[in-house]
Amino acid sequence: MSDKTKAGSIIEPRVLKGFRDFLPAMEIPKKAIISKLETHFSSYGFVPIDTPVLEYTEVLLGKGGGETDKQIFHFKDNGERDVALRFDLTVPFARFLAQHQSELALPFKRFHIDKVWRGENPQKGRYREFTQCDFDIVGVDNAEADFEILSMMDSSFSVMGVENYQFCIAHRGLFNAFLAHLDILDKSTEILRTVDKLRKIGKEEVASQLAEITGSSEKANQILAYIHKENENESFLETLDRLSSLAGNEEVHTKRMRAIHAYLMKAGIADHFVFDPSITRGLDYYTGIVYETFLTQLPNFGSVCSGGRYNDLASLYTKENLPGVGSSIGLDRLLAALEELESPIVQSTSSADVAIFNTDMAGFAYYDKLARSLRKAGLRVCVHLTDKKLAAQYKWAENNAIPYAILVSKEEEEQNRFTLRHLANRENHPNLTLQEALTILQRK
């Protein structure tokens, strides 16, 4: 036994690289966003599910391949089974669908908010343990389902209070039709993963890698011509027409994108979406529309919400046809961006709406009774558990970003009254009844 592990020694408190503790200042706004999203997803008729954090490695890697193989955390468990931590919530969902399809009514709409793990290189906004917020529709393959997911993405950002965002969408099927037109569809996986790195490694390096993959500088340049918009003012439909022409006047996927755009226009949210053919999503399982989301004030930060249509993913586990479309909000990544922008969303760190100060331990039963009444009215109430000096209690409340405090004198207690104080401006409201205090607190 080393000196560090001997009885009575101190172990250095530390966390693994890429993993984090969340102090209340970050966990409070994170939980608030999750609560809003859960309510919002439910308003669309989506239902929650959960899956194990550990899966058989072969289940998770059945369609991953490439970078996923390198990033997954896998090991032998005590039973010598090869198991792995889930790297996203989509692949476990496909396994879930195959295993429980007889118990589910299609179309099935689900949401799942939980942690995932990837062994990638930690950097700003990227971690090895992070929370994803997924929502999917399975069992229907049409423009209406695609549109509903896009609509939910847009309304979710509104519900979270996030501003200045842009959804960049493309179509994997249309891109594959283009590759088939160039007679290089068999190299699609490598091409997709290379194009997916465009924002990271730049146009020149992508061109070099594409030339190596296709064996032709001409075809590499044709791919770059497809994914690059010469005219930044090119409209959604103009981009679609150009790409359709490059893909040999492809019709099926073009028609789907036209229908989706029409729905976006009728919903009044088309301005939030741009057709960006450089969006390919590197994972193999996407088959139709794909999308990523960028904050316009942080254009180089990367996507904070992405997804697409995956019609063949469940075929790894079942012969039943279970087409799906979904999206995933990278919550920790989004929070990191909002923190950089000093957004009010991540500054809402109050642990309670009101604190009841303890001016006399003999009055604690009354403080508790008062707190119960306020909580029944829907307020978050924290009673100070010691009768420290008021200056210390004020400091405690301010450190916890609690906006109001209640102080009770003996005379007020006898009359079932108290003083309400706004801690920021020091404004006092003395001798209030419970109802009078609620009128003030509930209009904040």
> pLDDT per position in the chain (444 positions), as tens?
455 555 679 999 999 999 999 999 899 999 999 999 999 999 999 999 999 999 999 999 875 556 677 789 999 999 999 999 999 999 999 999 999 999 999 999 999 999 999 988 887 778 999 999 999 999 999 999 999 999 999 999 999 999 999 999 999 999 999 999 999 999 998 998 898 888 888 888 988 999 999 998 999 999 999 988 878 888 999 999 999 999 999 999 999 999 999 999 999 999 999 999 999 887 778 999 999 999 999 988 989 999 999 998 888 899 999 999 999 999 999 999 999 999 999 988 888 999 999 999 999 999 999 999 999 999 999 999 999 999 999 999 999 999 999 999 999 999 999 999 999 888 999 999 999 999 999 886
pLDDT at 348: 80
Dihedral over alpha carbons 311, 312, 314, 319 (to 10 degrees)? 110
Q: Are 259 and 288 in contact (CB under 8 A)?
A: no
Output the pLDDT for position 390: 94
* Alpha carbon distances (Å) from 336 to 28, 130, 171: 14, 11, 29
**pLDDT recorded at residue 124:** 75
* pLDDT of 317: 93
Max Cα–Cα distance, the chain, nearest Å: 89
Lookup: tokens for 299 = 């254009």
Q: Do the Cβ atoms of 397 and 380 come closer than 8 Å?
A: no
Provide the pLDDT for residue 16. 94
pLDDT score at 240? 95
Confidence (pTM): 0.89
**Residue 46 exposed, middle or buried by CB count within 10 Å (0-12, 13-18, 19+):** buried
